[in-house]
Structure 1
Amino acid sequence: MCCIAALTVHAQSGRFTIKGIIADTAEVGLPEATVMLLLPKDSSLVNFGRTDKQGAFEFKNVKRIPYLLKVSYVGYLPYQQNVKPEDGDVTDLGKLGMKFLNQDLYEVVIKTARAPLSIKGDTVEYDPRAFKVPPGSTVEDLLRRLPGMQVEQDGSLKAQGETVKRVTVDGKRFFGDDVKAATKNLPAEAISKVQVFNDKTEQSRISGVDDGKHEKTLNLELKDSHKKGGFGKASIGAGTDGRVEGKVNYNRFNEKNQFSVIGLGNNTNSGGMSWDDYQDFRGSQSFNWGDDGDFGFGGGRYISFGGDGDEESLTIQAGRGGQNRGFNKNWAGGANYNFDEKKTKFNTSYYYNQTSQDLDANSRRTNFLNNSTFTTLDTNSRRNFNANHRGGLRFEKNLDSLNTLIVLSNVRIGNGSADYGSHQQYFRGNNEVDSLSTMSDVSNYSDFNSFALGNTAIFRHKFRKKGRNFAASVGYNINNSDGDAIQKSANRFYTSSQNEPDSVININQTNTTKSLRNQIKTSVLYIEPLSKKFFLESFYNFSLKTDDVDRDVFDVTESGRELNVNLSRYYKNKTTFNRAGTTLRYSNKGFNVSAGLGAQQIRLNGDFSVNQSDPVKTNITREFFNWTPNVSLNFDLKNNRYLYGGYNVSVQEPNVRDLQPIVDNSNPLFIRVGNPNLVPTLTHSGNLGFNYFNPGSFVQMFFGVYYTKFENQVIYNQTVSENLVTTTMATNISGGNSFSLYGNYGFPIVKTKSNLSINAQYNRNNNPININNVLNETTTDGYNWGLRLDYTPSDKFTVYTNANWNISDTRYSISSGQNQQIVNTNYGAELNYKLPKDIYFNSRFSYNSYVNKRFGFDQSLPILNLSVYKTMLKSKKGEIRLSAFDVFNKNRGISNNAFGNVVSQEQVRTLARYFMLSFTYNMRGVAHSVRRKGYGY
């Protein structure tokens, strides 16, 4: 009898199972209904799942306490029921009937019926109220709590294992397509829904035909209170060693209008935004949001907007820098406006960014030759300044039900300077105890100004016959830059004695470079449905690009400046591009396969001379023709399973700088020789992958394989003299290839509380290069493993941990004795804890190690950041925070790499330990009681 009583007590106090069947009014089971188990006191999510084909569900091994059961199903009124555990191991709720949501029942749907998450097809919708974060948290903090969401260290997002390509606010663009602009600046409390779904690609939207591809998109829906009036955040902080920072953002939204401003300033190496200023300066078209009107399949596409290499002469050895390197002062600010109604969409934004950087570095670089090596030790300092203004607009107008017009315009104005000083020592052998060959002291300064403008207009027409579409685009781009540079270096060469040099070469030069680039392009696309499942897509691309570059180099002597005819050059180059192709596409019930062939012609015509007035000009005329096949497979296997793959050939023509028959010896230790006989590089690429996501269990899995083979790859042959002077010439070679295999598996250990993600990747790269007329093949095998564990048992305590291991085995065919293994590891953890009286504690720890035993390189970086803060003022609008950065005072920039016939290590002085006191004020939902006429807010 006692045993029976004990078993009864155990059953009532232990865990149990809840099961039931979700059915309609006719008692027919509803498959794939979303079922959630909540705590009644605060509706926090305990567990969730989806019904099977018969409408049955089951929650196993849950605590023996009362719950609130919520069910959602498309087209039906949300259902909820209180659940109390019955005696025994199983509580069977039987059949639970859901009512069809007709027009009469709309008024019955109230906010309390909302579930923490709902699943509709491939869309997962979260209710942020069920995933609590501390007051003042950003959207990024909220996303960390959501099942299936992952925030990387750099702020990039992954949802269901895929990278998020676009974040919108109420369906509208927010600062273009910058993912981090919204997640880092919008407050979590402003969001009423977070929606994750697969959106169509821009090519599919333009053509009107589903290409089977998708882009993972995250939409943030605002609360009604934040659609009226304004909201935002302002913070200011001061710390030890003169550290200061400030940041502000303000937003006013309504149904048709969105207006946002952001600004920041600091000397704490915090950029605050994700703009890549160096890439912008190089002249990419990345700011065109991906819809720049170049129709046709990707292989062989030609988008040129600068990038021939002459910008490098304006920033001599300035380096890219980086926000986590050296000491940076940043100022930035911008504004964004969206107008969106049924037929008209308008977006415009402006952004200014300014960075000043002081960087001191020590590096060691070893080059492997046929039967020897040489090592370079470099101590350098850099003082860089970079500023730019950027503006852009996008206008989309539905002229009628069949015609659409899109106009894009982007402008960039930039300026900057670079001051570079370096002391370099070249040794024969692996280290500095071997004989000294060369000593060089360099002092360079440069400044530049740049202007770029890109305009594109796209017209789309849908014929009345379903599937028949026409699109045309025209674009004009201009990139204008000019700059001045001063180059000074003293180069001493040693052979028998290290006390006195055998020869000395001193460089004292100035150069002025002016570059003007124009491009006119157009593209047309026509789609003809052959049947309901087959489509024929035909396209034509045309581009005319002209380059006008004038570079004057002067030797500075005691008698004055003298033109250096070997280094000065003027060229006017014209590049004409034509491509036409056809693709046959089959699309039916999620199965999408296409095969196409394009014919591509590139014609280069250039005149070269010492300067504009030189009567002697050298003409280079080259014409290249290539076939560019393309095969693409996208198969929606239903239930959130996707199979994809493809093969394509892309063509990259040689750049003008490499084609010029000119010897550039401005750096006497590194001489560049042009090669007018270069031909385009053909890249054969193939891939196959599989994605799976279970929205009921939140198990995710994806894996894939990539292979790339190069034909006529442009490489830079090296010839190294006895004095270790390297001469390079661009040439074509075949044989390089790369292979990559990757996989990821993620699952919740305890739903809504703990998630584990495991990833692995293998890479193999083969890079050929000629060194002193001997072919060297560098083969690198890369092995990467990673773990990520998130533990969020409550809104009072969260822990995020990660570990990554990267092993790189590098082998050299000409010098197998130099084969080496590089091991880079990273461990990280973040802890958040809520203390009594609205006090919060946060800590972040990372441990990085860099090991190359072959060269005795073994460095580690333990970095610990701590902060404690308290919310205050009415409605917790204020926050005061005390932070400690790099508590162990160990921070520095470290790199450890092997590539080609080179292995290098670098250490950079950077911002280390400091303490900061900051105050933040949250502006929340300031509603206007009187709506002014003419104002949309």
Structure 2
Amino acid sequence: MGTFTKSIFLMLLLAGIFRNSNAQNSVVSGVVLDTAGLPLPGAVVRIKSATDSVGSSADNDGKFTFTKVKYKAFTLSASFIGYDTFTKQYVISKGNTLHITDIKLKPSSNTLDAVTISGTPPIKVTEDTVSFNAKAFPVRDGDAVDEVLKKLPGIKVDKDGNVTSQGTPVTKIRVNGKDFFGTDVATAIKNLPAEIIKNLQFIDDYGDQAKLTGIKSGEPEKILNLTIEEDKKKGYFARASAGLGNADRYNTNIRGNSLKGERQISFNGTAANANMRGGGGDGITTRNDVGLNYKNEFNTKISADAAYNFNNNKNNTISSTYTQNFLQDANQNAITRLEDARGNAKSDSYNHWFGGNFEYKIDTMNYLKISPNFSYNKNNDDNTSASLITQDTLSTRRESNSLNTANNINLRTNVFYNHKFAKKGRNFTTWGNINYSSGESYRQALNQYINQYTNATDSLLQNQLNNQDNRNFYLNVGASYMEPLWRKTFLEFNYSWNRSATNNTKDTYDVNGGNQVFNPNLSNIYDYQFITNKAGVNYRYIGEKLNYTLGLSAQPALLRGQNLSTGVQTVNRTFNFIPSGRFSYKFSNQQSLDVNYWGRNNQPGFLQLQPITDNSNLQNVVTGNPNLKPEFINSINAHYKQADWSAGKVFIANFSYQRTNNKIVTTKDRVPGTVNQLTSYINTDGFYTLQGDYDISKPFSADRKFTLGYSGSGRMNNNISFTDGSRIKAKNLSWRQELEFRVDLKDIVNFEIETSYSQNLTNYSTDTFADRQSNRFEYGIEGRNYFFKDLTLGYDFSKQINTGFDNGSVRNPTLLRLYSEYRFMKDNMAAIRIEGFDLLDQNSGISRDVFDNVIVDRQVNRLGRYFMLSLIYRVRKFGS
């Protein structure tokens, strides 16, 4: 073979090898989970062949991707601190892609001294998540998710179905990571049966960008994510109930779910004028609700979820309010303004809401998410009230009747896009948020004032009509670029631009007989814009135990207002350097601490800015201040979590401090010779809030038959107000301690004994005002006893003892609810229930609020004693 021929042969051979090599380049991806099904971010993944090895780390969702695998057969290993290493051999048998889903790491047996971990742990804590294994908290067959939530340490479910985690409200429910019934948490937790749930994960959600980049800033949203058992992802279940009671009470509900893999359709409908949960909420409410939820993964790239909710609520609330307003004249003399009011408010509201998410995983490098949202609200209110205000030797009685109608439309769309580069850790993110809202309101108010002086009496009749039209357009766009520096460090550059523009038209008419006379002094057209530019840089370090982010941003802000009726324009400019930081340390797989700091602007509200007077209540005439500056809020918080996986013992503590510069506070100036006051707003410093809470839960056996819980919270506010030019500080301290003991004996009894003590104290910077204090002691028991397998006796008893409230109508209510339920038919498909609500007829809502130098004690009516007979029917089928 000649030299030329050998050269040609060698070239062809190399080309063939090169071609075959390229042909064998494959993509291997997967997800690393623990045995509870939770992702393990940062897990080290390696794939090895006989001659080569390549490694990577899992992202925040536990996912990993290798894009240039040159061999069909390989060994994969996954490791994470505190877990046994996973090792398994794989073969790419078809095509050039392989997605691996069976990587589950077991906790190491030597993580704790003298403790052997077996099975799935009941409770697990990670940096942003507290996860509960649903099987460790068994409930009665046929129960919904809300009954599981009641058993979880640190979790509260009130009588209206609102859920809080360590005192923070849960604002959204997700199922397998997808939104479920939007923000209607109460409907969501009643819609899903407990038996299909695998894990309940309480997540601090910092948004889509944080999930992809790990850069977390600002205050997270508390979200409950429910994962479904694999064998329950195919089937259906439905529940219908109908109840009739005395006093014309009724309650009907139907809800159903259909599941087929990742496709899920859910429906909920309610028509009721009674509360099946026992009478939470102010006033007496008649409601009609319809909800529909849909989610699906159409293929490996496209998924979507959507929800629609409609509700019509009619409410009648009768209230008694006692308000103490502590004032001070120019000579530092104390003046107390007391208001004793009674109100009867009737409302009729219609609300439509639609929202969803569309996710498109374009390829392994590109991700797009679009989230549209629409809402429409219509409200009609009819309010009558009477109040008596006394101050010094003066008094004024006010009789009021008002009719209000309002319509509001809100349209919002969020777009989020992320691109990952070939170099690991390098990515680019951009987003845009558009929000448009429009509202119209009509209000007619008739007020009669009877003024009592030392030796004289006079009266005034005021009849006023207000039409208001409000438009708001909000636009936010931004981008972020992340560059890896070394193996564990990253640098992120970000920029965002925000613009909020509001236009408000207010027309006021004085009504005299049948004539409407336009009042130009109380009418105007006002525009204002709030614009910020924010540019910053973040440095992030990711270690096996230590994870931190340090950042600095610069933000100029412009607040501009134009009174189009007078041509007057005001402009306020501010500039802030905003440091930010996040520190997270993982002591072990069961113990972590994270500390966060961030700063943000808060723009004034429209009514605070509008330079026009609202004298619809002559006892409190309000005028906006167009020269207000935006507030700047500095926040720091810390979260400590500790869990003993083997025993289920949990200790969680939270702390936060917030200080506001240029805080917008009220100013009040008395009108000489009357009880009337003029209210406006100014900026001031010195406002701060300090709060903390903790929760300890300890079971006394592995099966959690007996559990003791101890929790507490405290909050201190330093409020600032101005009265007749005098600056007054009011420190308000409130705290609460609670002890719970829970018993769960399968098919015998589930009950919880709860007792708590709380206190509310207020003291002032001037000695002319006396300190104020109120106390509340509560105790009760809630549970169910089971007899003969199919008979249940339920009870809910609570007692309040209140002291220190100044409202003479406040009582110490004792509430008692009893019910009995009998299940029958095959698989307990049907049940009949008889219930008695508020058997002692003492249900009332009692509260105290402290605002600056004002203390408000309030009591409202709530749903009283009634009885109801209900029929319940369930169907369900899972599997093939």
> TM-score, normalized by length of structure 2?
0.81
Supply the distance in 2 between the matched residues of 1:710 and 1:164 (Cα, whole angstroms).
25
Match of 1:378 among 320, 335, 341: 341
Partner of 1:417: 380
Structure 1 position 746, deviation (Å):
1.8
* Matched residue type, 2:602: Q
Cα deviation digits, residues 366-399 of structure 1 (max 9, x gap): 2112222121111111111111111012100011
- Residues 190-229 of structure 1: matches in 2 within 5 Å? 190-191=196-197, 193-194=198-199, 196=201, 201-203=206-208, 205-209=210-214, 211=216, 217-222=224-229, 224=231, 226-229=232-235
Q: Which of 685, 693, 700 is the aligned partner of 1:734?
A: 685
Residues 912/731 of structure 1: CA separation in 2 closer, same or farther (3 Å cut)? same
Counterpart among 843, 851, 860 of residue 908 in structure 1: 860
Partner of 1:846: 798
- Secondary structure of 1:658's counterpart equals helix
Work out the CA distance in 1 between the residues paired with 2:689 and 2:846.
26
The match for 2:194 is 188
Structure 2 CA distance for aligned equivalents of residues 216 and 513 of structure 1: 36
The residue aligned with 1:604 is: 559
Cα offset, 1:617, TM superposition: 2.0
Alpha carbons of structure 1 residues 846 and 123: separation in structure 2 relative to 1, 3 Å: closer
Deviation of 1:256 (Å): 2.9
Higher strand share: 2
In structure 1, C-alpha distance between the alignment counterparts of 2:552 and 2:138, rounded to whole Å = 53
Distance in 2 between the 1:159 and 1:653 partners?
Answer: 29
SS in 1 for 2:413: strand
Equivalent residues of 2:176, 2:225 under 8 A apart: no
**Residue aligned with 1:566, SS:** helix
CA contact (8 A) 2:173 2:182 kept: no
Decide which of 126, 141, 146 is 2:147's aligned counterpart: 141
Helix, strand or coil at the partner of 1:182: helix
**1:234: how far off?**
0.5
RMSD between superposed Cα atoms in Å: 3.0
Query: C-alpha distance in 2, partners of 1:558/1:668?
Result: 20
Query: What is the aligned partner in structure 1 of residue 717 from structure 2?
Result: 765
Match of 2:436 among 473, 478, 495: 478
Tell me if structure 2 keeps the 8 A contact 1:737–1:766: yes
Match of 2:593 in 1: 643
Measure, in 1, the Cα distance between the counterparts of 2:490 and 2:235.
Answer: 49
Residue aligning to 1:248: 254
Question: Aligned partners of 2:288 and 2:111: how far apart in 1?
Answer: 57
Equivalent pairs counted in the alignment come to 766
Structure 2 match to 1:493? 451
Pick closer, same or farther for the CA change 1:803–1:507 going to 2, 3 Å: same
Separation in structure 1 between the aligned mates of residue 156 and residue 609 of structure 2, nearest angstrom: 46
Deviation at 1:174, TM superposition (A): 1.8
Confirm whether residue 590 of structure 1 aligns to residue 595 of structure 2: no
Structure 1 match to 2:518:
563
Aligned to 1:236: 242
1:20-45, CA deviations, whole angstroms, 9 ceiling, x for partnerless residues?
Answer: xxxxxxxxxx9889xxxxxxxxxxxx
SS of the residue corresponding to residue 819 of structure 2 reads strand
Q: Give runs of aligned pairs for residues 907-926 of structure 1, distance below 5 A.
A: 907-925=859-877
| Aligned residue among 655, 662, 677 for 1:705 | 655
* 733 and 170 in structure 1: CA distance in 2 versus 1, 3 angstrom threshold: closer
Q: 1:804: Cα distance to partner? A: 2.0
Say yes or no: does 1:461 pair with 2:424. no
Post-superposition Cα deviations, 1:238-273, rounded to whole Å, max 9, x if no partner, equal: 00100000111111111131111101111114699x
Compared CA separation, residues 123 and 684, structure 1 to 2 (3 A): closer
Q: How far, CA to CA, are the matches of 1:747 and 1:156 in structure 2?
A: 24
Aligned-pair distance for 1:775? 1.8
1:549 alignment counterpart: 504
For residues 769 and 351 of structure 2, the distance between their equivalents in structure 1, rounded to whole angstroms, comes to 48
Task: Describe how 1:201-600 pairs up with structure 2 within 5 A.
Answer: 201-203=206-208, 205-209=210-214, 211=216, 217-222=224-229, 224=231, 226-269=232-275, 324-340=281-297, 341-370=299-328, 371-428=334-391, 435=393, 437-497=395-455, 501-502=457-458, 504-558=459-513, 560-600=515-555
Identity of aligned residues (%): 26
Ranges in structure 1 where 5+ consecutive residues have no aligned partner = 1-29, 34-48, 59-69, 73-114, 273-321, 430-434, 611-615, 929-937
Separation in structure 2 between the aligned mates of residue 924 and residue 804 of structure 1, nearest angstrom: 40
In structure 2, the CA distance between the partners of 1:119 and 1:50, relative to structure 1 (3 Å rule), is: farther
**Distance (Å, rounded) in 2 between the aligned partners of 1:152 and 1:493:** 44
Give the stretch that moved more between structures: 816-825 or 228-237.
816-825
Counterpart check, 1:883 vs 2:840: no
Residue 680 of structure 1: CA displacement? 2.2
Q: CA separation in 1, counterparts of 2:645 and 2:165?
A: 11
1:9 alignment partner in structure 2: none
Structure 1 residue identity aligned to 2:442: D
- Partner secondary structure for residue 812 of structure 2: strand
Whole-Å Cα distance in 2 between the matches of residues 579 and 464 of structure 1? 29
CA distance in structure 1 between the aligned counterparts of 2:688 and 2:595, rounded to whole angstroms: 19
Distance 1:118 1:863 in 2: 33
Partner of 1:303: none
Q: What SS does the corresponding residue of 2:841 show, helix, strand or coil?
A: coil
Determine the structure 2 residue equivalent to 1:278: none
What does residue 632 of structure 1 align with?
582
Deviation at 1:865, TM superposition (A): 0.4
CA shift, 1:451, in A, is 0.8
Deviations 1:186-224 (A, max 9, x none): 123344x23547687434555433659997754331463
2:477–2:496 contact (8 Å) kept in structure 1: yes
Q: Is the 8 A contact 2:246 2:868 kept in 1?
A: yes
Residue 82 of structure 1 corresponds to which residue in structure 2?
Answer: none
Contiguous gaps of at least 5 residues in structure 2? 1-80, 85-106, 329-333
1:679 matches 2:685: no
**162 and 748 in structure 1: CA distance in 2 versus 1, 3 angstrom threshold:** farther
- 1:856-871 mapped onto 2 (5 Å cutoff): 859-871=811-823
Cα pair distance change 1:147/1:215, threshold 3 Å: closer
Report the Cα distance in structure 1 between the residues aligned to 2:675 and 2:414, rounded to whole angstroms.
49
The separation in 1 between residues aligned to 2:578 and 2:697, in whole angstroms, is 38
Q: 2-side partners of 1:196 and 1:904: how far apart?
A: 38
Could you tell me how far 1:558 is from its partner in structure 2? 3.5
Tell me if 1:824 matches 2:740: no
Contact kept, 8 Å, 1:186 with 1:232, in 2: the verdict is: no
Report deviation, 1:554: 0.7
**Amino acid of the residue matched to residue 549 of structure 1?**
N
What is the alpha-carbon distance in structure 1 between the residues aligned to residue 695 and residue 134 of structure 2? 27
Show the 5 A alignment for 1:705-724: 705-721=655-671, 722-724=673-675
- Compute the displacement of 1:168 (Å): 3.6
Question: One-letter code of the match for 1:912?
Answer: G
For 2:725 and 2:131, the matched residues in 1 are separated by 59
Structure 2 vs 1, CA of residues 188 and 407 (structure 1 numbering), >3 Å: closer, same or farther? same
Query: Is 1:778 paired with 2:730?
Result: yes
Looking at structure 2, the residues matched to 496 and 197 of structure 1 have their Cα atoms a distance apart, in angstroms, of 61
Report the Cα offset of residue 133 of structure 1.
3.3
1:750 to 701, 705, 714: 701
Shift of 1:154: 5.4
Q: Which moved more, 1:445-454 or 1:775-784?
A: 775-784
- 1:659 alignment partner in structure 2: 609
Q: State the one-letter code of the partner of 2:676.
A: V
Q: CA deviation at 1:781?
A: 2.2
Kept in 2: contact 1:227–1:255 (CA 8 A) = yes
Q: Which amino acid aligns with 1:484?
A: Y
CA distance in 1, matches of 2:408, 2:515: 29
Per-residue CA distance 1:388-426 (angstroms, 9 max, x = gap):
111012100011110111111000011111111111111
